[in-house]
Amino acid sequence: MTTRMKNPAYVLPEAMKGIGGLIKAIEASGLPAGVREFAGLRVSQINGCAACVHGHVEEARKSGESDERIHNVAAWREAPFYSDAERAALALAETATRLADRTGDGVPDPVWDDAADHFDERQLSGLILTIALTNLFNRINVTIREPAGTRW
């Protein structure tokens, strides 16, 4: 597969400044790197973004995550490898990504309450921004057909 065009964040360099600021804020939130990468990986799996799936797998490995845990993110509900906090983050990532699949409350209170029970306000903010930023990256990459292995 070949890319349709250069990444819009490179075409419009001011966009990259904003993205860089969000990434710094997320990293400073206190949200553990593994949780960030698992949430980003799950969002990217849902959205079919090969470039981001590849990137989150690489980053999860760099943060010390095992292949066993990385390979089972898509089946996290059935796999015994995740903590309650990680499960809450993955549930929020799925729910916030699949907003159009819901009727009524986009993020139901039980999903929110579970995440809020496991993460403080700064960490929860980092998680929400991770989910949102990953969805942004996925939409850009899928639209321009960014191939797996491409790095921003």
Mean pLDDT of 22-41: 98
- The average confidence (pLDDT) of the chain is 95
Residue 149 lies in a domain: no
Q: What percent of the chain has pLDDT over 90?
A: 89
3 state DSSP class of 26: helix
Nearest C-alpha neighbor of 87 from the set 47, 124, 129, 35: 35
Residue 78 lies in a domain: yes
Q: What is the pTM of this model?
A: 0.95
d(CA 40, CA 92): 11
Q: What pLDDT is attached to residue 105?
A: 87
Contact 134, 42 (CB under 8 A): no
The parent domain of residue 54 ranges over: 11-140
Residue 2 lies in a domain: no
Q: Give how far Cα 64 sits from Cα of 32, 34, 39, Å.
A: 11, 8, 15
Residue 5 lies in a domain: no
Q: Rounded to the nearest 5°, which phi and psi values hold at 64? A: 100, 10
Q: What pLDDT is attached to residue 152?
A: 65
Residue 134 lies in a domain: yes
Nearest C-alpha neighbor of 42 from the set 100, 98, 120, 94: 94
Residues 6+ apart with CB under 8 A from 83: none
Mean pLDDT of 52-59: 96
**Tally of domains in the chain:** 1
Secondary structure (DSSP) of 86-115:
HHHHHHHHHHHH-GGG-SS-SS-HHHHHHH
* CATH code, 109: 1.20.1290.10
